[in-house]
Structure 1
Amino acid sequence: MIDGQKINALNEWLAEAGLNGTPEDVLVTGFCERARDAGIPLARSLVLIDTLHPVYEGRLVRWGHDASQPGMVEYGRTVVPDGVPLAADQEKGAATWRQSPFFHMLQTGQSLLKLTEEHASVFPVIRDYLAAGMKGGIAIVKRFAPEGVIGEMDAVYSSWMTTQPGGFDDHQVDALVRTVPMLSLAVKTAALTRMTGTLLDTYLGRDAARRVLSGRIMRGVADRIDAAIWFSDLRGFTRVTDSAPEQVIPLLNDYADVIVSAVHDQGGDVLKLIGDGILAIFTTGDRARCCSCALDAATAARRDVAALNARRQADALPVTDMYVGLHVGEVLYGNIGSIDRLDFTVVGPAVNEASRIAAMCRSVEQPVLVSETFAAVDGMRERLVSVGRYALRGVERPQELFTLEPAATA
């Protein structure tokens, strides 16, 4: 017997939970527990929604499955642009998707499908459910209107299984049809919130994303901060683009992977990818800590680039190396640009000087160059060796530059 008051209370709880930003796994668990209490004999559920993410296609939430299966999973690509091959694990996931009730419903335009033993010959997943003691269920696809579609996020997919002989009765199906739309809305809200953070992290950088999400989006608002500044680029990049243009994007991706990872591992924040160039800052604690992290990142990046070069050479792919310029000083960190197009970045004389130092790497034939201000920070001098005094374009006076001490690099 379905308890109408508890069904109404379930929808009210979903509305409140969605407004509060409750995560998907908590939403699904709370929904299933309350639905059972209202008279819907749920045994297993599956809810999934696509997203916008550079690696994952979406997120899947399970309830009532055995403990060997995680309750929440971010699944990989099942669809990629034309000409881009799927990896082996992605191809397996894509094949599973094409054999699912959800894919069938998308092809036929159905929004509700009653799942019975007869479907075991059509959908392999139903055979698994029957083997686990399920007696039937339903699948629901709640599609979004065209203006609500973002990327591949076009619907919330859910399946609901029961051990009740004969599956759900009509009253129980009606109760699910009444409540799943509110669950779908709450799940979409959670997914959009998470997606916003992911996109900002990906395109602005972690710290800049945090500041933007906290509300610091007014044009011209900037903070004065002390930071170690990183400028890097790749050696001979123009040569690679001229001789093997089809290799440009894979090459940039490979080298960005190891350089950005080295910066992030030391607490740095990458603010810009400018072709083959990278601008990053380190603001971890005091100035000595910032500079130490920046030097550690430079050392790690050089080590990882060498390992990458060995792998690429073994595959007969073009290789390169990187140049890094490091400086430390006060910068303005915030929103800069026009009314219609803002950038959250750092500006100031210290940033310009870091750029000039990076550009000197080629002339001095050193992979890493460090300013004398950076070298004067406590604990830095013993890790560095002087390469002489140089005039930097746009900088008032010549200054002594340093590179990594060979023993420290080794």
Structure 2
Amino acid sequence: MPAENDIAALTAWLTQSGLDGVAEDALVAGFCERCIAVGVPVSRALVLIDTLHPVYEGRLFRWGQDPSQPGMVEYGRTVAPAGAVLGAEEEKSAASWRASPFFHMLQTGETVMRLTEAHTAWFPVMQDHIAAGMKGGLAVVNRFAADGVIGEMDAVYSTWMTRQPGGFSEAQVAILARLVPTLALAVKTLALTRMTGTLMETYLGRDAARRVLSGRIMRGIADRIDAAVWFSDLRGFTRVTDSTPEHVIPLLNDYADVIVSAIHAQGGDVLKLIGDGILAIFTTGDRARCCSCAIDAATIARREVVALNARRYSLGLPVTDMYLGLHVGEVLYGNIGSMERLDFTVVGPAVNEASRIATMCRSVEQPVLVSLAFAAVEGMRVRLVSVGRFALRGVERPQELFTLVPGGIPAG
């Protein structure tokens, strides 16, 4: 059996690896290899933890499985959110979860449970383990205190299997029960770090999230940046809201999916979803590159909205279109708000002008309008056509506006 200093060394390695931010699958693999080295014959391991993510419920990390399988897998919902229904694949995952040792342990309150061949009748997953030559194992649930629970992230779950005849000895079980909590703490720390980044990107946008996480959190601190500004909204949204309110959220989600994806695909950052409106900026490279990316995103978004409308129309669902204003100029980019509630966004005349231009789409009867400053950028005029001069509310002088050349395609 391992000496006390071997166990202390393994614990120290786990602690340092967690502090270093070693990836969870590498952490699990390193832990298993070190367990074997000190006399605990782990042959297969599975560690999972829930998280807060708009798509996935959590992540699982495995070691000792078929090498063709990835060491990390993101899994879908096993519990439907209030008012939602699980899809076929999610329901399959949910059924598998309900038939797992972990679900059983949550009902009984156990934290450590020996797994043997006798459990094949209880837990279908044991049939796979036995078929792979496992002789027994251990399931462990490391629960968090109430104050440490975030959403569904309430524990780290793990199974440890061995090919050793008779399974793990009592002494080996005791060692695993002693070491696994430290591994669980390291996994939780890494999960919290990743979750913070995911939530920041989901609610603030990718670039704003990076800036906030880098420490740009003081009120009144803002950068002057040159950006192509995108302001779009949906045609007839108020009508949909008034006539078929039950369709509002699915409609917003469908159109946001295609529009935001087009913006992200061209390197843009979505800063705000304001009802049916979207505020985004393009800051990639020089001004010509920013404007080109914005035009590409607009062209792709228009194309995807047409395809989405065809799908929704075939299902008898309400359809709409996108109005878009594009402008370019200097904006202030940073924290704005009160001491208790900050917003990381852009402000300035260029943002206001983009909003006014988007509003003009209705009266000009054009889905996309572009400012004179935007059209004057090198390489833009060949992709745009003038629609005349117009007075914009809050803008001192009338200005010439442009729209996309009919049938235009993304450059490059």
TM-score, normalized by length of structure 2? Answer: 0.99
Q: Matched residue of 1:226: which SS?
A: strand
Residue 397, structure 1, aligned to residue 397, structure 2: yes
Partners of 2:83 and 2:339 lie apart in 1 by: 38
| Structure 1 residues 139-186: Cα deviation after superposition (integer angstroms, max 9, x where no partner) | 000000000000000000000000000000011000001100000000
**Matching residue of 1:118:** 118
**Matching residue of 1:270:** 270
Shift of 1:65: 0.5
Letter aligned with residue 97 of structure 2: W
Partners of 2:105 and 2:240 lie apart in 1 by: 47
**Matching residue of 1:138:** 138
Shift of 1:68: 3.1
**Matching residue of 2:244:** 244
Letter aligned with residue 115 of structure 2: L
Counting matched residue pairs gives: 410
Gaps of 5+ in 2: none
Shift of 1:81: 2.0
Contact 1:2 1:171 in 2 (8 A): no
Q: Matched residue of 2:118: which SS?
A: helix
**Matching residue of 1:306:** 306
Q: Matched residue of 2:264: which SS?
A: helix
Contact 1:2 1:172 in 2 (8 A): no
Partners of 2:66 and 2:297 lie apart in 1 by: 43
Partners of 2:40 and 2:409 lie apart in 1 by: 65
Contact 1:162 1:168 in 2 (8 A): yes
**Matching residue of 1:193:** 193
Shift of 1:407: 3.6
**Matching residue of 1:27:** 27
Partners of 2:3 and 2:369 lie apart in 1 by: 72
Shift of 1:409: 5.3
Partners of 1:70 and 1:99 lie apart in 2 by: 23
Residue 101, structure 1, aligned to residue 101, structure 2: yes
Letter aligned with residue 169 of structure 2: D
Structure 1 residue runs of 4 or more that deviate by more than 3 Å after TM superposition: none
Residue 384, structure 1, aligned to residue 384, structure 2: yes
**Matching residue of 2:49:** 49
Contact 2:229 2:279 in 1 (8 A): yes
**Matching residue of 2:375:** 375
Partners of 2:85 and 2:362 lie apart in 1 by: 38
Q: Matched residue of 1:47: which SS?
A: strand
**Matching residue of 2:296:** 296
Q: Matched residue of 2:183: which SS?
A: helix
Letter aligned with residue 30 of structure 2: G
Q: Matched residue of 1:2: which SS?
A: coil
Partners of 1:243 and 1:148 lie apart in 2 by: 44
Q: Matched residue of 1:408: which SS?
A: coil
**Matching residue of 1:60:** 60
Partners of 2:118 and 2:408 lie apart in 1 by: 68
Partners of 2:5 and 2:222 lie apart in 1 by: 53
Provide the aligned C-alpha RMSD in A: 0.9
| Structure 1 residues 171-220: Cα deviation after superposition (integer angstroms, max 9, x where no partner) | 10000011000000000000000000000000000000000111111110
Partners of 2:220 and 2:19 lie apart in 1 by: 32
| Structure 1 residues 111-131: Cα deviation after superposition (integer angstroms, max 9, x where no partner) | 010000110001000011000
Shift of 1:21: 1.7
Q: Matched residue of 2:104: which SS?
A: helix
- Identity across matched positions, percent: 76
**Matching residue of 1:316:** 316
Shift of 1:23: 1.7
Shift of 1:3: 3.0
Alignment of 1:323-402 (within 5 A): 323-402=323-402
